[in-house]
Structure 1
Amino acid sequence: MKWSEVSVHTTQEAVEAVSNILHEAGASGVVIEDPEILLREWDVSYGEIYQLSPSDYPQEGVIVKAYLPMNAHIAETVEEIKQKVLLLETFDIPIGRAEISLAEVHEEEWATAWKKYYKPVQISERITITPTWEEYVPSNKNELVIELDPGMAFGTGTHPTTVLCIRALEKYLNPRDRVIDVGCGSGILSIAAAKLGASSVLAMDLDEIAVKSTFLNSELNLVEDKISIKQNNLLEGINQPVEMIVSNILAEIIVRFTDDAFALLPRDGLFITSGIISQKQEDVKDALRRSGFEIIEVQELDDWVSIVAKKM
């Protein structure tokens, strides 16, 4: 079988939105080639760092790749992708060059070549993320391993925003806390919360693919008994109280439901947010404060920000 490799040359700020467009077009996963990773000063305290080749990355901007079956409608699909990418500018998301290219890939090449990007990586004191095909043995009894199949969608869980959220969960989640994950994507934050001791997690996403991915990944990690999964738009229609809400989505979306998050949390309840580029953090802080939250921690990693807010 032949596959079409669709490559979108864009900006780091647009990666999440472009990835979602490709998922909606039928991709089961994406590969993100960001040259920033070559310049990153890695925190080696959490484990081994794998050598990367500059030839695998663009000289500037970011390339997001997806693989779609080659068929008679691929040209129309690519044009639809292009139009949706161009529309991102109306949401104040810079798209950069926004160049889209198409290449033919044979199934046997695609099925194995992309796996070179994914290795086990320890992203916090307790949590290591590993692809399903890698054999990984925990280094100690307190280490928690999350297995992901990047082919299911939404990448490997090592994006800076995901790392920031998981570190915040590890720091602030109390045993038996009830958690809501808004915009669950692959379900990695829900899985992390369940493994860290949450009594229950409600995982929600508007994207049907995300809902399916979260279900499959929760089963893979044997936490499906703790995680309820629902297709839903943000917190609309949700009235069950919880001790913690976590959301790793765009800043422009977070500011829309800070009031709803405040209403669901008890006094001292926490709202962990990320997916926020540095330039947008003040917008999110302002929205949180207007809703009644107190900002208790801000962390940054590679120009991305996470904010932990408490209901007072």
Structure 2
Amino acid sequence: MKWTELCIYTTNEAIEPISNIIHEAGASGVVIEDRQELDKERETPFGEIYDLNPDDYPEEGVRLKAYLPVNSFLGETVSEIKQAINNLLLYDIDIGLNKITLSEVNEEQWATAWKKYYKPVKISERVTITPTWEDYQPVSTDELIIELDPGMAFGTGTHPTTVLSIQALERYIEKGQIVMDVGCGSGVLSVASILLGADKVLAYDLDEVAVESTRLNVKVNKVAQQVVVKQNNLLEHVKEEADIIVANILAEIILRFEQDAYKLLKPGGYFITSGIIQNKKENVKEGLLNAGFEILEVNQMEDWISIIAQKPEGSR
């Protein structure tokens, strides 16, 4: 089978929304090549692995690469992607150069392209994310291993927004709790929640591709019996209460359902939000406070923000 490599030159700020656009267009995953990665001085408290080749990165800015099958709909699909990216300007998102190139690759090149970017990474005190093809052996008895295949997942699970979310889950989850994963994407946060002690996860995403990716990944990680995956628009028509709601999505989307999150959380429950860019931080904080939440933490990794809020004890 022949594939087209779609390469988009953009900015760090636009990585998350453009990745979502590409996935909605039918791509199985996204490769992120960010020149800034080469110059960062990294603290590695969890033993992260960084082995970067400068030749794999653009001279400036960010390259996003995705792979689409060559078929009669390809031209229409690319046009829709271009229009959706241009529409990000309406949300004040800097899309940078916004240059798009196409090149044809064969099946073998497509499969190999993923693997050189993806190695096991320890992202918190206990959680390590590894590709399914790596024979990774845990280095401690309490280490939790999440296996992902970027050919079917929404990224590799090591983006700062995901790392912030998992680190927050590690701090707040208690055994036997119910977690809601809103905008579940690959399902990595659902898997992490079960491994960290949650009894049940309700995973929701509007995108059919995300729903299928989550279903596959919970099976790969042997937690399918504890994760209920449904196609759903945020928390619409959801009745069950949760101890924790986690949402790693755009700030604009978080602000569409913060009141629903407040209603569905048990008193004392936590709302973990991530995927927030710096200039949207105050908007999200204001929305959470207006909904009745108390802000417990505001954390940052690189240019990304995570906010942890709590529904006060004794509230309804």
Greater alpha carbon shift after TM alignment, 159-168 vs 98-107: 98-107
Structure 1 residues 130-177: Cα deviation after superposition (integer angstroms, max 9, x where no partner):
000000011111000000010003110000000000000001111111
Q: Aligned partner of 1:56: which letter?
A: D
Using the alignment, how far apart are the partners of 1:266 and 1:22 within structure 2?
35
Deviation, 1:49, is 2.2
Deviation, 1:88, is 1.4
Runs of 4+ in 1 over 4 A off after TM superposition: none
- Residue in 1 that maps onto 2:37: 37
Using the alignment, how far apart are the partners of 2:113 and 2:94 within structure 1?
30
- Residue in 2 that maps onto 1:142: 142
Q: Aligned partner of 1:174: which letter?
A: E
Correspondences of 1:228-267 after superposition (within 5 Å): 228-267=228-267
Contact 2:152/2:213, CA 8 A, preserved across alignment: yes
Correspondences of 1:35-114 after superposition (within 5 Å): 35-114=35-114
Deviation, 1:87, is 1.3
Unaligned runs of 5+ in 2: none
Structure 1 residues 255-303: Cα deviation after superposition (integer angstroms, max 9, x where no partner):
1111111111122110000000112111110100001111111111001
- Residue in 2 that maps onto 1:294: 294
- Residue in 2 that maps onto 1:210: 210
Task: State the identity as a percent.
Answer: 61
User: SS at 1:101's partner residue?
Assistant: strand
User: SS at 1:152's partner residue?
Assistant: coil
- Residue in 1 that maps onto 2:226: 226
Deviation, 1:190, is 0.5
Correspondences of 1:163-178 after superposition (within 5 Å): 163-178=163-178
Unaligned runs of 5+ in 1: none
Q: Aligned partner of 2:148: which letter?
A: L
Structure 1 residues 183-221: Cα deviation after superposition (integer angstroms, max 9, x where no partner):
000000010001001011000000000000000000000
User: SS at 1:179's partner residue?
Assistant: strand
Q: Aligned partner of 1:213: which letter?
A: S
Contact 1:40/1:302, CA 8 A, preserved across alignment: no
Q: Aligned-residue CA RMSD in angstroms? A: 1.2
User: SS at 1:12's partner residue?
Assistant: coil
Deviation, 1:92, is 2.4
Using the alignment, how far apart are the partners of 1:43 and 1:31 within structure 2?
23
User: SS at 2:228's partner residue?
Assistant: strand
Deviation, 1:117, is 0.3
Using the alignment, how far apart are the partners of 1:48 and 1:305 within structure 2?
21
Contact 2:49/2:119, CA 8 A, preserved across alignment: no
Contact 1:182/1:204, CA 8 A, preserved across alignment: yes
Using the alignment, how far apart are the partners of 1:285 and 1:168 within structure 2?
17
User: SS at 2:242's partner residue?
Assistant: coil
Deviation, 1:48, is 4.2
Using the alignment, how far apart are the partners of 1:278 and 1:97 within structure 2?
21
- TM-score (ref. length: structure 2): 0.96
Deviation, 1:181, is 0.5
Structure 1 residues 71-119: Cα deviation after superposition (integer angstroms, max 9, x where no partner):
3442332222111111111222221111110011122222113310000
Q: Aligned partner of 1:55: which letter?
A: D
Correspondences of 1:274-293 after superposition (within 5 Å): 274-293=274-293
Using the alignment, how far apart are the partners of 1:59 and 1:281 within structure 2?
30
Deviation, 1:43, is 2.5
Using the alignment, how far apart are the partners of 1:283 and 1:60 within structure 2?
30
Deviation, 1:22, is 1.4
Q: Aligned partner of 1:4: which letter?
A: T
1:182 aligns with 2:182: yes
- TM-score (ref. length: structure 1): 0.97
User: SS at 1:145's partner residue?
Assistant: strand
User: SS at 2:262's partner residue?
Assistant: helix
Using the alignment, how far apart are the partners of 2:231 and 2:220 within structure 1?
20
- Residue in 2 that maps onto 1:157: 157
